[in-house]
Amino acid sequence: MSTRQIPNHAALNRRASIRSMVGGSLLMPGLISQLLAGDGDPIATGIHHAPRAKSVIFIYATGGVSHIDTFDPKSPTGGRDGTGSDRLMGNLFGSQRNPRCGTEVSNLFPHLREVMDEVCVVRSMKASHFDHSEATLGMHTGSPTFARPSMGSWVSYGLGTVNQNLPGFIVIAPHLPYAGTQVYASDFLPASHQGTRVLPGDHPIANLTPPRNSASLQELELKLVDSLNRKHAVERPHDDALAARIRSFETAFQMQQAAPEAFDLSGEPEDVRRLYGLDRKTKGPAADFAWQCLVARRLAERGVRFIELIDTGSRPNWDSHGEMKEHADLAYNVDQPTAALITDLKRRGMLDETIVLWATEFGRTPTREGKNGRGHHRDCFSIWLAGGGFRGGHVHGVTDEIGKYTVENEVEVHDLHATVLHQLGIDHTRLTFRHAGRDFRLTDVHGRIVSDLIS
């Protein structure tokens, strides 16, 4: 059974002290934080064992990144894949090994290759589906076919927040990936655990700054809203949606104080901006992703539990059916900022307690499609993890010589989720929520901890 907490009347009285509200931002989905157990918002009972990490930065590359051209380079001598119909196509970009740990990485990622001694590469992932939306849902929620809470929502529900002035789950996304907002939805979990979407740039959250000279009007508006909400809540003590809405008003006010500072990079030293590639001249997608990565570090510093960075989502994304050269520009946009994030976290002593997870929904075929493209491939692909107690400089799993099938140590999505939760101190079999007559969990009835990934 879930151990959710229902707000009591004393908790409702606390909300009478709310002093401001933020116009349109209050209507923004997910603009809600959560309190620790005992302070009015429903979360799970806590950590099951000593955690190795406190937060997650999830970098999601939407579209299906070719493992053969990135983190599992293959150079077949030519010929066909065994079906007698398709021509093989190896890594088009060349590759080199990290000089310290020996991990081989495509030349698309020279900066990431330099930090591979901090990275655990999994080359033996198996996708949950071969279509984009379903595989994207599988990677985010564990279910490729039914709406379920996202991994970020489960982490928020399991751990709560350490910063009541910011949401516990934030998604920085210039464009939405396949499957849309479901990738950060809370579904049947309490609404307070849904992700808050942020846009890269000077105004990441619309209407966050209150109008000038509006304090008195906001005071009157909020007193009226709070009075009506409390009266409504007394008659409906088990209404989670109402409790979440009341909490959203309070979070909105708190975010007026905390969020502008968290998203303001003007105080970052110039050497840090250069590290991420975010200098004064950088424009376009490269600048956007550099902003995402640097803000992710700042949010992790401020106690946000789960931060997801959506890489592109627009076309061209990583879905290179016709021309693999599309991968080159996309890799250029993300290579330096992603490597900088790992370097910056380590310099600040944060990497040990922060999981950096990079993933995509599936890989791409070892055979040619179109002129020089590749099709969808679910049977094996690559993801990687850094920090949070994962084994730096380690490669897990082996694929065959053309990158078509896993031959050693296959890892499924439920296994990945179980292992990430384990590093956060959560037993994936015990993090459950009662819904529609049964106990649901992120890993459904599957999942195993992949101990070989853990240092």
Q: What is the per-residue pLDDT across 49-63, written as a single tens digit (0 to 9) for each?
A: 999 999 999 999 999
Tell which residue, 243, 38, 260, has the closest CA to residue 160.
38
What pTM was estimated for this model as a whole? 0.86
Q: Is 192 a domain residue?
A: yes
R_g of the chain, CA atoms, integer Å: 22
Q: Give me the pLDDT at residue 370, please.
A: 87
DSSP three-state, residue 284: helix
Q: Give me the pLDDT at residue 30, please.
A: 39
> Rounded to an integer, what distance in angstroms lies between the CA atom of residue 109 and that of residue 250?
43
What is the full DSSP assignment across 6-68?
---HHHHHHGGG-----GGGGGSTT----PPTTSSS---S--SS--S-SEEEEEEETT---ST
If you average pLDDT over residues 102-116, what whole number do you get?
98
Q: Give me the pLDDT at residue 253, please.
A: 62
Q: Round the average pLDDT of the chain to a whole number and report it.
A: 85
pLDDT tens column, 267-303 = 999 999 999 998 756 677 788 999 999 999 999 999 9
Q: Is 146 a domain residue?
A: yes
Q: Give me the pLDDT at residue 241, please.
A: 66
Task: Compute how many other C-beta atoms are within 10 angstroms of the C-beta atom of residue 248.
Answer: 23
Residues written for the chain:
455
pLDDT at 238 over 80: no
Distances (CA, A) of 213 to 25, 191, 217: 18, 32, 9
Q: Which of 76-90, 213-227, 281-295 has the highest mean pLDDT?
A: 281-295
Q: Is 199 a domain residue?
A: yes
Q: Give me the pLDDT at residue 243, please.
A: 67
Q: Give me the pLDDT at residue 27, please.
A: 30
Count of the separate structural domains present in the chain: 1
Q: Is 7 a domain residue?
A: no
pLDDT tens column, 419-450 = 999 999 999 999 999 999 999 999 999 999 99
Distances (CA, A) of 366 to 87, 320, 325, 379, 408: 9, 13, 15, 11, 18
Q: Give me the pLDDT at residue 207, please.
A: 60
Q: Give me the pLDDT at residue 427, please.
A: 97
Higher pLDDT, 151 or 190: 151
Q: Give me the pLDDT at residue 45, please.
A: 55
- Indicate the pLDDT class of residue 38, thresholds 50, 70 and 90: very low
pLDDT tens column, 333-387 = 999 999 999 999 999 999 999 999 999 999 999 999 988 999 999 999 999 999 9
Q: Is 234 a domain residue?
A: no
| DSSP letter assigned to residue 385 | E
> Rounded to an integer, what distance in angstroms lies between the CA atom of residue 173 and that of residue 200?
7
DSSP three-state, residue 192: helix
Q: Give me the pLDDT at residue 16, please.
A: 36
Residues 6+ apart with CB under 8 A from 231: none
Q: Is 178 a domain residue?
A: yes
Share of the chain above pLDDT 90, in %: 66
Q: Is 104 a domain residue?
A: yes
> Rounded to an integer, what distance in angstroms lies between the CA atom of residue 431 and that of residue 424?
12
* Domain hosting residue 335, numbered range: 41-206+265-453
If you average pLDDT over residues 179-189, what whole number do you get?
95
Higher pLDDT, 246 or 258: 258
Q: Give me the pLDDT at residue 33, please.
A: 35
pLDDT at 25 over 50: no
Q: Give me the pLDDT at residue 226, please.
A: 74
- Indicate the pLDDT class of residue 227, thresholds 50, 70 and 90: confident
> Rounded to an integer, what distance in angstroms lies between the CA atom of residue 102 and that of residue 88?
26
pLDDT at 43 over 70: no
Q: Give me the pLDDT at residue 29, please.
A: 38
Tell me the CATH number at 310.
3.40.720.10
How is residue 19 written in tokens?
A: 């002093």
Q: Is 441 a domain residue?
A: yes
Counting DSSP H helices and E strands in the chain, the numbers are 10, 17
